[in-house]
Amino acid sequence: MQPTPSLTQLPAWSELVSAVEQTKPTLNGLYTIEAAGITIDFSGQRCSPAIETATTRLLEQRHFEQQRHALLHGGIVNPTENRAAWHTALRQHMTTPEVTAERERFNAFIRHADTAHRWRHIVHIGIGGSDWGVRLCISAFGYSKLWRTVRFVANIDGHAIESGLADLNPHDTLVVVASKSFTTAETLTNAQRALEWLKAAGVPAPHEQVVAITAKPERAAQWGVPTKNIFTFWDWVGGRFSLWSSVGLTTALSVSSDVIAGMHAGAAAMDHHFESAPLSHNAPVQMALHGIINRNILHIASLNIAPYDSRLAYLVPYIQQLEMESLGKSVDLNGEPVPVATGPVVWGMPGTDAQHTFFQWLHQGTEGAAVDFIVCQQADHRWQEHHQSLLANCLAQREAMLRGKSYEQAYEECLQQGHAPNAAAWLAKHRTHQGGRPNTLIVLPRLSPYHLGALLALYEHKVFVQGLIWGINPFDQWGVEYGKFLASDIIKELQQTTPPCTKHDVSTAYWINKFKNKGA
Ligand code: F6P
């Protein structure tokens, strides 16, 4: 592997830093990009011809076109696991024979279950990438097959499986176990509980009521899932990208297969845009570059996701995992420390709830965050008044963050409200709003599967480009793997009567002893 120069050694980096430092937020120009039916408004970011020139050079110096080609055509872009990250192949119409064959099995399974009017209840067991995307789809599009109910069980916390199974009829329940590795402790433990629940109810063939979706079909078979009930995906699909695989089974069973097809089409359209649009009009590329400017030059440590749509509440954890698991890295591809900060903290909540929760911090806190406002132009309910108000709130919060309020404006306002000059001078300091806080406005025509698919692909490609610029691998997650490994040792120690082994720190050993005696 060729050594990757560190970001700060690239000539384009210093050009970009000085270009950004010379650019103030202007609000004078409208700068939007259309991609796969979505409009992305970058007017609230730092933009100038000098920034554009420097970012184009930066991408060249990172061999962007070559790397993008590798990503989109199954090249090894995850060198620490020696794998491709070819989730885009799952959503292309013309794809590989193995993907097509699995799609056909998937569709046949759904058709058969629907025709036979089988499975009144679905219990979806999976965590992280095997969970968030499915929850997002179902909360975005509701249940169109109203005769089926869906429950999600992710957490190892026994309360999750307890409430997940409560009041369901075991004889008419399908347990969907989604796990790329089929080793994740949470998922396998919860699946075991569900199986016991089926058995305890006297279900004649309990394993027949379990479906597994995994990249390790042999492990699912060993666990007891019948081969015909195992759907496969491949090592080259990362767990946090597995929504595009048969992990969509629960969505297809409870909403419709059309949702899956629509999302695939929208994501594929975004892939095409990413592959073909010129860099200055390439939405994922521009989103990535503005994220880098915000993080490394304006030193903004977090990105707030503000979907102005209650149906998109799960978009926040979905993007959190996508960004933070991918970009939470501190060594580059050479194994050397990255010289600048990498992925921001990602957090958020749907507006307008978020306004009444933490927006004050965004407006006047000492640090602030970059904000992605996401909104649908058209709603799917009949109360136009609600939607206009939602849109107005989204635009107003964004405008306040952009424009701010000067001391003079605030002072004048206080005088007009009848405050005496002294009081007005004091109060105006509290009402002054710095403004100039970077944000992006993402407008979907409406929340269709097509546009949600495109939106998710937009963020995926953005993350890829940021990983490339930082020179890190966005497709592994060794830190989480380490935590998983330590937990498996501690679980064994909690179950034993012997004292904890000496490799623990004093505090961990103390709590292992304490929980061993008082635990469940
Ligand atoms: O959090 C680590 C992780 O490996 C994620 O990348 C993944 O989405 C999650 O665990 C679940 O893993 P699996 O699908 O293998 O059960």
Task: Name the percent of the chain lying above pLDDT 70.
Answer: 98
pLDDT (mean) for 100-107: 95
* C-beta atoms surrounding 242 within 10 Å: 27
User: Whose C-alpha lies nearest to ligand 1, atom 4?
Assistant: 239
Residue 197 CB contacts under 8 Å (≥ 6 apart), including other chains:
165, 170
How far, in Å, from the CA of 85 to the mean position of ligand 1? 15
Q: Residue 495: its pLDDT value, please?
A: 86
Q: Residue 4: its pLDDT value, please?
A: 82
User: Whose C-alpha lies nearest to ligand 1, atom 10?
Assistant: 128
How far, in Å, from the CA of 82 to the mean position of ligand 1? 18
∠ CA(450), CA(454), CA(459), 5° rounding?
A: 155
Residue whose CB lies within 8 A of the most ligand 1 atoms, among 83, 127, 176, 323, for a mutation test: 127
Lining ligand 1 with CB less than 6 A are: 127-130, 179-181, 184, 187, 239-240, 325, 477, 480
Q: Residue 482: its pLDDT value, please?
A: 82
Taking the C-alpha atoms of residue 459 and residue 465, their distance in angstroms, rounded to an integer, is: 10
User: Whose C-alpha lies nearest to ligand 1, atom 9?
Assistant: 128
* C-beta atoms surrounding 330 within 10 Å: 13
How far, in Å, from the CA of 63 to the mean position of ligand 1? 30
**Between residues 239 and 514, which one has the greater pLDDT?**
239
How far, in Å, from the CA of 431 to the mean position of ligand 1? 46
**Between residues 513 and 64, which one has the greater pLDDT?**
64
Q: Which atom of ligand 1 is nearest to the CA of 187?
A: 16
Q: In the chain, count H helices and then E strands.
A: 21, 13
Q: Which of 59, 79, 36, 26 is nearest to 286 (CA)?
A: 59
Residues in the chain: 520
How far, in Å, from the CA of 474 to the mean position of ligand 1? 14
What are the DSSP calls for 398-466, one per residue? HHHHHH-B-HHHHHHHHHHTT--HHHHHHHHHHH-B-----EEEEEESS--HHHHHHHHHHHHHHHHHH
pLDDT (mean) for 187-198: 98
Q: Which atom of ligand 1 is nearest to the CA of 127?
A: 11
Q: What class, spelled out in words, does domain 96-255 have in CATH?
A: alpha beta
What are the two backbone dihedrals, phi and then psi, of residue 355, each rounded to the nearest 5 degrees? -60, -35
Using DSSP's 3-state secondary structure scheme, residue 391 falls into: helix
How far, in Å, from the CA of 182 to the mean position of ligand 1? 9
User: Whose C-alpha lies nearest to ligand 1, atom 2?
Assistant: 480
Q: Residue 518: its pLDDT value, please?
A: 61
Q: Is the pLDDT of residue 26 over 70?
A: no
Q: Find out whether 134 and 243 touch, Cβ atoms under 8 Å.
A: yes
Tens-digit pLDDT profile for residues 140-169? 998 777 789 999 999 999 999 999 999 999
Give the containing element (helix H, strand E) for 325.
none
Dihedral, 506, 510, 516, 520 alpha carbons, nearest 10: -120
Q: Residue 489: its pLDDT value, please?
A: 82
- Which residues is 375 bridged to in the sheet? 308, 443
- Residue 337, sorted as left (phi over 0), alpha (psi -120 to 50) or beta, turns out to be beta
Tens-digit pLDDT profile for residues 394-430? 999 999 999 999 999 999 999 999 999 999 999 999 9
Tens-digit pLDDT profile for residues 444-460? 999 999 999 999 999 99
- Which residues is 77 bridged to in the sheet? none
Q: Which atom of ligand 1 is nearest to the CA of 215?
A: 15
Looking at this predicted complex, what is its ipTM?
A: 0.98
- Which residues is 83 bridged to in the sheet? 78
User: Whose C-alpha lies nearest to ligand 1, atom 16?
Assistant: 179
Taking the C-alpha atoms of residue 54 and residue 65, their distance in angstroms, rounded to an integer, is: 16
Taking the C-alpha atoms of residue 48 and residue 19, their distance in angstroms, rounded to an integer, is: 8
Q: Is the pLDDT of residue 215 over 50?
A: yes
Q: Is the pLDDT of residue 462 over 90?
A: yes
Q: Find out whether 302 and 291 touch, Cβ atoms under 8 Å.
A: no
How far, in Å, from the CA of 127 to the mean position of ligand 1? 6
Give the containing element (helix H, strand E) for 42.
none
What token pair was written down for 313?
């509440």
Tens-digit pLDDT profile for residues 491-500? 888 888 877 7
Q: Which atom of ligand 1 is nearest to the CA of 181?
A: 15
Side-by-side strand order, sheet with 302-308: 32-35, 38-41, 439-444, 370-376, 302-308, 345-348
Q: Find out whether 349 and 489 touch, Cβ atoms under 8 Å.
A: no
Q: Is the pLDDT of residue 381 over 80?
A: yes
Q: Residue 516: its pLDDT value, please?
A: 83
Tens-digit pLDDT profile for residues 237-285? 999 999 999 999 999 999 999 999 999 999 999 999 999 999 999 999 9
Q: Which atom of ligand 1 is nearest to the CA of 238?
A: 6
How far, in Å, from the CA of 319 to the mean position of ligand 1? 15
Residue whose CB lies within 8 A of the most ligand 1 atoms, among 134, 177, 184, 243, for a mutation test: 184
Residue whose CB lies within 8 A of the most ligand 1 atoms, among 83, 130, 323, for a mutation test: 130
User: Whose C-alpha lies nearest to ligand 1, atom 8?
Assistant: 129
Q: Which amino acid is at 413?
A: E
Look up the CATH superfamily of 7-80+264-403+437-470.
Glucose-6-phosphate isomerase like protein; domain 1 (3.40.50.10490)
Taking the C-alpha atoms of residue 420 and residue 65, their distance in angstroms, rounded to an integer, is: 62
Residue 1: band (very low, low, confident or very high) from pLDDT cuts 50, 70, 90: low
Q: Which atom of ligand 1 is nearest to the CA of 184?
A: 16
Residue whose CB lies within 8 A of the most ligand 1 atoms, among 250, 480, 481, 485, for a mutation test: 480
pLDDT (mean) for 470-480: 94
Residue whose CB lies within 8 A of the most ligand 1 atoms, among 240, 249, 320, 473, for a mutation test: 240
Q: Residue 520: its pLDDT value, please?
A: 45
Tell how strand 121-125 and strand 439-444 pair up: unpaired
Task: Indicate the pTM of the whole model.
Answer: 0.95
Q: Taking all residues of the chain, what is their mean pLDDT, rounded to a whole number? A: 94
C-alpha dist (Å) from residue 254 to 143, 248, 260: 6, 10, 11
Q: Residue 488: its pLDDT value, please?
A: 79
Q: Which atom of ligand 1 is nearest to the CA of 239?
A: 8
Q: Is the pLDDT of residue 517 over 90?
A: no
C-alpha dist (Å) from residue 389 to 198, 309, 352, 398, 400: 48, 12, 10, 14, 16
pLDDT (mean) for 219-235: 97
User: Whose C-alpha lies nearest to ligand 1, atom 6?
Assistant: 239
How far, in Å, from the CA of 475 to the mean position of ligand 1? 12
Instruction: Please write down the HEC assignment for all residues of 67-130.
Output: HHHHHHCCCEEECCCCEECCCHHHHCCCCCHHHHHHHHHHHHHHHHHHHCCCCCEEEEECCHHH
Residue 440 CB contacts under 8 Å (≥ 6 apart), including other chains:
40, 41, 42, 44, 45, 287, 290, 370, 371, 372, 373
Residue 23: band (very low, low, confident or very high) from pLDDT cuts 50, 70, 90: confident
Q: Which of 358, 370, 346 is nearest to 293 (CA)?
A: 370
Residues tagged active-site: 325, 356, 484
Taking the C-alpha atoms of residue 270 and residue 267, their distance in angstroms, rounded to an integer, is: 5
